[in-house]
């Protein structure tokens, strides 16, 4: 089992952690683990299995492994194991769309973490303290805390720099790009994406390179170079698939849909959103369904299919509310509110936008909140 995991780690660094060859190695290790049972000495090996299955988009299996990691950590009463297990569960639950529980596990990882535990994490691809902080930043943004998300990603970057682990620095920079992308700060997202690409190429980190390309393509495309941005995101998606990486694909396809819509390629935007929803249906990676439905609705609206667009917006609103995804709810409330405004239903539009806008206690200077306040002024 140890041999198969070592093979998986070695191949993963070169070809991507979810490549078919890695999958075969981890598949054999997984079968052996099920025979041997959960032993504390197998914890790091089981953690490698979790990483493969989550990146491969096999979230149901990853969720079960994450729960077993937590049981092993609690039985061993090990803070280092608890950090890793809690972070694994947080990441898995976030992608499954359970953002509130994901946040709770990330906080548990944070409480258990101490930089003095660093020796226990030697050999892991990403330092768990860094990955937990970075991933939790996106969860905080989704839950409606854009300023706390920014502070959290800065903590992740500071920890990565303090540790001096290049792969962890690249990972924190990747999520730096994610957070600025979500906050609508294109220039900052581009800067962090450039860092990811440089470090990933220098260190041959295949999976992070592919993810970074999507964020770089989005920033380039939304800066006006739409053909270049679209081409780079498409290349990134192809590289990810070749490496077996399916996790977060729905969000990257949403980026493609956004840039295509910005370029007024509405058929392509619609196709990207539809593909994202198909992927999430297959992998259970539902965390970005609301945005995919919103982008689909925006494309349909511009293609003259108003009734279909409204159906998408309403479904997106339901997705966001079910997941307590306040930032996503604000976005779709604006899309639906603008549609109601065009129909002359100004009161209904205001009733959609005002309550969610008033819920927020931070992020007033971010692009979404500026747009929401401007919409509300127009509805007075």
Domain boundaries, the chain: 1-117, 125-204, 304-380
Domain 125-204 classified CATH 3.40.50.10470?
no
- What is the average pLDDT value for the chain, to the nearest integer? 91
Q: Would you state the structure tokens that stand for residue 29, as one six-digit string? A: 């290790």
Among 97, 199, 184, 195, residue whose Cα is nearest residue 149: 184
- pLDDT tens sequence across 230-253: 999 999 999 999 888 999 999 999
The model's pTM is 0.92
Rounded percentage of the chain residues whose pLDDT exceeds 70:
89
- Residue 43 has what pLDDT? 80
In contact, 287 and 139? CB cutoff 8 Å: no
CB atoms within 10 A of CB 347: 10
Quick one: pLDDT band at residue 331, thresholds 50, 70, 90? very high
- Residue 19 has what pLDDT? 61
- pLDDT tens sequence across 190-243: 999 999 999 999 998 888 999 999 999 999 999 999 999 999 999 999 999 988
In contact, 66 and 92? CB cutoff 8 Å: yes
pLDDT of 166 strictly over 80: yes
Among 115, 204, 131, residue whose Cα is nearest residue 163: 115
- Residue 12 has what pLDDT? 43
Distance separating alpha carbons of residues 205 and 203, to the nearest angstrom: 6
| Annotation: CATH topology of 1-117 | 1.25.40
Quick one: pLDDT band at residue 29, thresholds 50, 70, 90? low
Half-sphere exposure of residue 318: CA atoms within 13 angstroms, side-chain side: 7
- One fold for both 1-117 and 125-204? yes
User: 249-262 vs 289-302: helix axis angle to the nearest 10?
Assistant: 20
Q: By mean pLDDT, which of 24-28, 121-125, 196-200, 367-371 is the weakest?
A: 24-28
- Residue 27 has what pLDDT? 67
Distance of CA 149 to the CA centre of its chain: 13
Among 128, 26, 33, residue whose Cα is nearest residue 72: 33
Distance separating alpha carbons of residues 81 and 366, to the nearest angstrom: 37
């Amino acid at each position: 089992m140890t041999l198969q995991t070592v093979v998986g780690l070695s191949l993963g660094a070169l070809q991507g952690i979810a490549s078919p060859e890695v999958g075969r190695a981890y598949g054999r290790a997984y079968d052996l683990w099920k025979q041997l049972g959960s032993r504390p000495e197998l914890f790091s090996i089981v953690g490698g299995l979790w990483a493969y299955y989550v990146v491969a988009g096999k979230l149901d299996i990853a969720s079960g492994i994450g729960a077993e990691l937590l049981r092993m950590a609690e039985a061993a009463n090990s803070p280092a194991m608890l950090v890793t297990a809690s972070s694994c569960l947080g990441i898995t639950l976030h992608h499954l769309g359970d953002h509130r529980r994901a946040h709770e596990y990330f906080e548990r990882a944070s409480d258990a973490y101490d930089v003095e535990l660093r020796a226990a994490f030697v050999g892991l691809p990403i330092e768990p303290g860094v990955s937990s902080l970075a991933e939790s930043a996106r969860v905080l943004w989704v839950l409606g805390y854009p300023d706390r998300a920014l502070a959290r990603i800065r903590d992740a970057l500071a920890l990565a720099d303090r540790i001096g682990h290049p792969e962890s620095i690249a990972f924190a920079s990747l999520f730096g790009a994610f957070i600025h992308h979500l906050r609508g700060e294109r220039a900052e997202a581009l800067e962090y994406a450039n860092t990811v690409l440089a470090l990933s190429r220098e260190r041959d980190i295949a999976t992070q390179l592919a993810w970074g390309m999507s964020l770089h393509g989005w920033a380039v495309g939304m800066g006006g170079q739409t053909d270049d941005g679209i081409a780079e995101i498409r290349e990134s998606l192809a590289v990810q698939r070749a490496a077996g990486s399916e996790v977060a694909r729905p969000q990257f396809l949403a980026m493609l849909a956004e840039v295509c819509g910005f370029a007024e390629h509405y058929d392509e935007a619609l196709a990207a959103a539809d593909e994202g929803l198909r992927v999430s249906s297959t992998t259970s990676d539902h965390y970005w369904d609301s945005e995919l439905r919103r982008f689909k609705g925006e494309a349909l609206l511009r293609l003259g299919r108003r009734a279909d667009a409204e159906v998408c917006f309403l479904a997106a609103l339901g997705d966001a509310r079910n997941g307590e995804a306040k930032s996503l709810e604000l976005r779709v409330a604006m899309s639906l509110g603008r549609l109601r405004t065009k129909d002359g239903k100004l009161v209904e539009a205001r009733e959609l936008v005002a309550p969610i806008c008033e819920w927020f206690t931070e992020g007033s200077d971010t692009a979404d909140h500026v747009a929401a306040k401007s919409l509300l002024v127009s509805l007075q």
